[in-house]
Amino acid sequence: MTNNNTMTTTTKIGLDTAKSEELANGLNDLLANYQVFYLNTRGFHWNIKGEKFFELHLKFEELYNDLVLKVDEIAERVLTLGFTPLHAFEDYLSVSEISPVKNISNGKEAVQNIVSSFQVVLSKQRTLLDLSGDMNDEGTNALMSDYIREQEKLVWMYSAFLG
């Protein structure tokens, strides 16, 4: 697209290509963290034991079902911006700040891990919210805003469980 002899490159949805690539890279980082968060939560669901088994088993299932939906939305947003989402576990593990955990059956330990994971994704989503706002990308901005609002409440609720 040419504007007064100055070359401006935009994506198919009318966003600056260079800024969109930066945003897509950030979304891929978020995607990697969500994938590890999802797998950890799935493991908590399967392996939980103890007094709060029934309550936590259901809560973890609710959470991993929500996380898998967000994984899909984030990957599709990367595609909408014109880039390729990460889709190999080795990529997720090399990028993710959230570390994989295994064999956690203690409810308190699982919930502490969930709160820590939310802190990571919330921080990343706030960065993406600012970037998408600066580049007038309402699609990504609305997605991040919705995630942040919802997850702040979940952090409060899981933290209340911890006491």
pTM for this predicted structure: 0.93
Per-residue pLDDT band for 7 (boundaries 50, 70, 90) equals: low
Helix axes 17-47, 53-80, angle to 10 degrees: 160
Average pLDDT, the chain: 95
For 118-145, the pLDDT digits (tens) are: 999 999 999 999 999 999 999 999 999 9
What whole-number percentage of the chain has pLDDT above 90?
95
Of the candidates 34, 95, 88, the one whose C-alpha atom is nearest the C-alpha of residue 63 is: 34
For 72-106, the pLDDT digits (tens) are: 999 999 999 999 999 999 999 999 999 999 999 99
Are residues 117 and 40 in contact, defined by beta-carbon separation less than 8 angstroms?
yes
Instruction: Give yes or no for residue 158 having a pLDDT over 70.
Output: yes
Cβ neighbours of residue 24 under 8 Å, at least 6 residues apart? 78, 81, 82, 83
For the domain bounded by 12-162, which CATH number is listed? 1.20.1260.10
Cβ neighbours of residue 126 under 8 Å, at least 6 residues apart? 144, 148
Write down the pLDDT at residue 3: 41
